[in-house]
Amino acid sequence: MYQSITKPFFDKLFALLGLIVLSPLFLFICLILIIFQRGAVFFIQKRIGKNNVPFNIIKFRTMKADRLDNIQMDESQRITPIGHYLRRSHFDELPQLWNILMGQLSFIGPRPLLPEYLDYYTITQASRHMVMPGIAGLSQVLGGNTLPWNQRLRLDAFYAKKCSLTLDLKIVRLSLIYIFKSKGKHESISKSFIEDIKERS
């Protein structure tokens, strides 16, 4: 009931409200990118969604447009000055509200990954695709890229198995703590959260 009706309804409702309320910011960022950043405003990439259905995720573009000139560069060197700010503020994620409105993404769920990874998942890891992918996921709020790849997929699989309003609210809480830079508190809660997950897995 929660996954199939309640959560999708509120996802789309809040995404619509977000697009309306944040439309001035959205248009301002588009204008800044058009003026100061050569190339397309949006970055569009194919990702895998619920039940292995592919979709195009949308973000504000944060990297230099000419891939041929920058293919030898480290990713951090290819990010534009505006792109650095958009990533730090997470404003580059704003266009994903449209993905949520289209029923391709949720606010909370495992981050959608590239199609190339599909052939490498174990059966347990592949269960991450039983639920709608999200902008913020369990593995992201518990360490993200600092965690080993297998642990991130294990946390995604745990979320898919235990998805509930209570778990989503815990993820929202951890996200807010992280955003407001309460590093010590975030690490403390994350550690106890991971230990609890190990016991319940």
Nearest in space to 190 (alpha carbons), one of 105, 182, 97, 119: 182
Separation between Cα atoms, residue 176 and residue 189, nearest integer Å: 12
Q: For residue range 36-57, what is the model confidence (pLDDT) as tens digits?
A: 887 889 999 999 999 999 999 9
Instruction: Evaluate if residue 72 carries a pLDDT over 90.
Output: no
Q: For residue range 164-180, what is the model confidence (pLDDT) as tens digits?
A: 999 999 898 888 877 66
The range of the structural domain enclosing residue 147 comes to 2-200
Residue 133 DSSP symbol: -
Q: Is residue 29 within a helix (H) or strand (E), and if so which, with residue range?
A: helix 23-36
Separation between Cα atoms, residue 193 and residue 201, nearest integer Å: 12
Nearest in space to 178 (alpha carbons), one of 146, 143, 130, 147: 143
Q: Which two tokens stand for residue 100?
A: 């949520």
Q: What is the dihedral of CA 150, 125, 160, 186, to 10 degrees?
A: 10
Other Cβ atoms closer than 10 A to 187:
14
Other Cβ atoms closer than 10 A to 144:
12
Q: What is the pTM of this model?
A: 0.86
Number of domains the chain is built from: 1
